[in-house]
Amino acid sequence: MSAHRRGAEPVHRAFICPNLKRARIAILTNHRLGNITLTRDEPFLYPRPGQMTGHGLNASVAIHFPIHLSIHQALPIMSTRSDTLHRLLRQGPVTVRQLVEKLGISQPTVSRALTACGDDIIRIGCGRAIQYALRDSTRGFKCAPIYRVTDTGKIKPPGNLIPVYPDGFVMQPTDGVSQHSDAIPWWLFDMRPQGYLGRAYASAYADTLGLPTNPDKWDDTSVIRALLAHGHDAIGNLLVGERARDNFVAMPEPVPAERETAFPRLARAAGTGELPGSSAGGEQPKFCAYTARGHVLVKFTAVSDNPVSERWRDLLLAEHLALKALGVETQIFDFDHQRFLEIPRFDRVGPLGRKAVISLRALDAEFVGGGSASWPALVTRLVDEKCVTPDAAWRSALLWAFGRLIGNTDMHTGNLSFISHHHGGPYELAPAYDILPMGFAPKTSGDMASTLRPASLPENIDADIWHEALALAQIFLEEIRRSDRFSASFAPCIEALRHHIDEAAVRIARLG
């Protein structure tokens, strides 16, 4: 038995009201009824018939009995149903059925509780797959509007990006079904500050944003905060937040730059983070510009005249000739002691139009998970998933084989991308970029190689592709040998490249 005297300390006991059709959990505190959430094995007070009043229960006539609840987590006495619901949703999205099982209440009661929480509850999916998530307002923003820029420079509002517990995001489209991701959505992945431009941006703005100076240490929320602050000219065709939208709308139409004066100035500014431009990755120093040819990405060498800078000048010229062999119209300029490689941007159309661009790294992470597999292997799986167009398999294999034959040792998944000429997939392979004999690149120690390891010929590449790649490699070699803009120190590299291609040609001939 348990007794409660008037004026004594409140007695907190739970009971089940027996005269209701559905057993309801309540609490006795100073003879008043209230809400409760019980721990496992919490004893109930069970009133004898006729002893419950409209205001409370005489605890002296109640008896204890133990009951085992199907609640998996201990919940504190006196927390409200809303508190309990929030606590469960902080662990991640759940279905109504899961909430019914964990809370031990009916589905209609769960639905009412979700509705009572207002816009803190985010609905995901449709039909039987519907889940509910809890908005995470502690990350510095409750909602980030997403805008898409068309190829004619017009803005379309696809929807809103909402941070939810514990670490993910929900994309609420203006027309369609909301989708949840455990991390930053894959279609925003390439917009994160990265490489040379990303570090330059971080050095300029990290303190203002309250973030580490190394962008590689930024979490997903930090990336979104950076895009909300300075995301109007990022790679691709998306804008994150109202500020990015307003800045894009207010942008004047670009005026073509005078290369000879503008390029050295823009190179200096890029080094200090003053003109981060897009978030295009890669470690080679670069900046974005607008010239008579349209929007371009410009790689450049250092002003200093030393063996390392000289090697990079030679490699930029080699990249120019490699891309020329592949049909990409680049241009090379020498101003003072700097060399500039101008590459057309394939995510820009005219003065203001844009296209979506997604790297192989982003597509692999979302749809394949192949990690360190080669371009052909990953793209073949993406074709099977209908994420990219069928011809992308053949074209990516050709680029990869060509890279092998010219000594390109840096063909990671960030160096192959896809574009969309419409909203959504399947995506088409983008023009080639970052194709050059990186086997000759200066090491971090300052050492420079002038030899190449023999190229292997994996069997997953068809003989026809190897033969076509060989023809392109021989065109590239001939262009290099005819150029008079390479330094004398690059001559051993040219000879090594000739031997490398000739040796591969002998083995390719045996493939039939």
Distance CA 440, CA 487 (A): 14
Residue 500 corresponds to which tokens in the numbers above? 């490398």
Long-range contacts of 443-451 (CB under 8 A, 24+ apart): 446/307, 446/308, 448/307, 448/308, 448/311, 450/492, 450/493, 450/496, 451/496
Specify the pLDDT at position 372. 85
Does residue 108 belong to any structural domain of this protein?
no
Does residue 357 belong to any structural domain of this protein?
no
Specify the pLDDT at position 444. 84
CB 384, CB 363: distance < 8 Å? no
More confident residue, 76 or 272: 272
Specify the pLDDT at position 459. 87
**One of 167, 219, 410, 462 is an active-site residue; which one?**
410
- Domain end, chosen from 225, 253, 281, is at 253
DSSP 56-99: -B-GGGEEEE------SS---TT--HHHHHHHHHTT--B-HHHH
Distance CA 509, CA 512 (A): 6
Averaged pLDDT, 105-128: 92
Largest CA distance in the chain: 106
Does residue 337 belong to any structural domain of this protein?
no
Specify the pLDDT at position 200. 86
Does residue 350 belong to any structural domain of this protein?
no
Residue 163 corresponds to which tokens in the numbers above? 């941070």
What is the band of 273 on the pLDDT scale with cuts at 50, 70, 90? Answer: low
**Is residue 47's pLDDT more than 80?**
no
Calculate the CA dihedral of residues 479, 297, 294, 391 and round it to 10 degrees. 70
What is the band of 20 on the pLDDT scale with cuts at 50, 70, 90? Answer: very low
Number of domains in the chain: 2
Does residue 341 belong to any structural domain of this protein?
no
- Domain end, chosen from 235, 253, 271, is at 253
DSSP 219-266: -HHHHHHHHHHH-TT-SSSEEESHHHHHHHHHPPPP----HHHHHHHH
CB 239, CB 146: distance < 8 Å? yes
Query: What are 314-339's pLDDT values in tens digits?
Result: 999 999 999 999 999 999 999 988 99
Averaged pLDDT, 335-351: 96
**Is residue 45's pLDDT more than 50?**
no
Specify the pLDDT at position 282. 65
Specify the pLDDT at position 204. 87
Q: pTM (2 decimals)? A: 0.82
Q: How far is CA 358 from CA 42, 44, 93, 202, 390, in A?
A: 54, 58, 27, 22, 17
Specify the pLDDT at position 297. 96
434 labelled catalytic: no
Burial 363-402 (b: 16+ CB within 10 A, else e): bbbbbbebeeebbbbbbbbbbeeebbbeebbbbbbbbbbb
Q: How far is CA 140 from CA 201, 205, 259, 283, 474, in A?
A: 20, 17, 41, 30, 55
Averaged pLDDT, 280-307: 90
- The rounded mean pLDDT for the chain is 85
- pLDDT over 90 percentage in the chain: 71
Structural domain that includes position 193: 133-253
Distance CA 281, CA 267 (A): 16
At 309, the amino acid letter reads: S
CB 123, CB 162: distance < 8 Å? no
Q: Starting from the edge strand earliest in sequence, which strands make up the sheet with 338-344, in order?
A: 286-291, 294-300, 338-344, 331-335
**Vertex 281 angle, CA 277 and 286, to 5°:** 55
Query: What are 375-386's pLDDT values in tens digits?
Result: 999 999 999 999
Does residue 484 belong to any structural domain of this protein?
yes
Query: What are 408-431's pLDDT values in tens digits?
Result: 999 999 999 999 977 788 999 999
CB 62, CB 137: distance < 8 Å? no
The mean-pLDDT minimum among 87-91, 278-282, 456-460, 499-503 falls in 278-282
User: Are residue 375 and residue 505 in the same domain, yes or no?
Assistant: yes
Distance CA 285, CA 271 (A): 8
Distance CA 434, CA 432 (A): 7
- What is the distance, to the nearest Å, from the Cα of residue 469 to the centroid of all Cα atoms in its chain? 32
The mean-pLDDT minimum among 20-34, 215-229, 335-349 falls in 20-34
Does residue 392 belong to any structural domain of this protein?
yes
Which residue do the tokens 């995001």 mark? 169
Averaged pLDDT, 154-177: 95
* SS3 assignment, position 364: helix
Q: How far is CA 54 from CA 14, 40, 60, 134, in A?
A: 16, 28, 17, 36
- Domain end, chosen from 221, 253, 285, is at 253
What is the band of 43 on the pLDDT scale with cuts at 50, 70, 90? Answer: very low
Specify the pLDDT at position 275. 57
At 217, the amino acid letter reads: K
> Strand 44-47 vs strand 13-16: parallel, antiparallel, or unpaired?
parallel
At 116, the amino acid letter reads: A
Does residue 150 belong to any structural domain of this protein?
yes
Report the candidate in 370, 472, 481, 385 with the shortest Cα–Cα distance to residue 427: 385
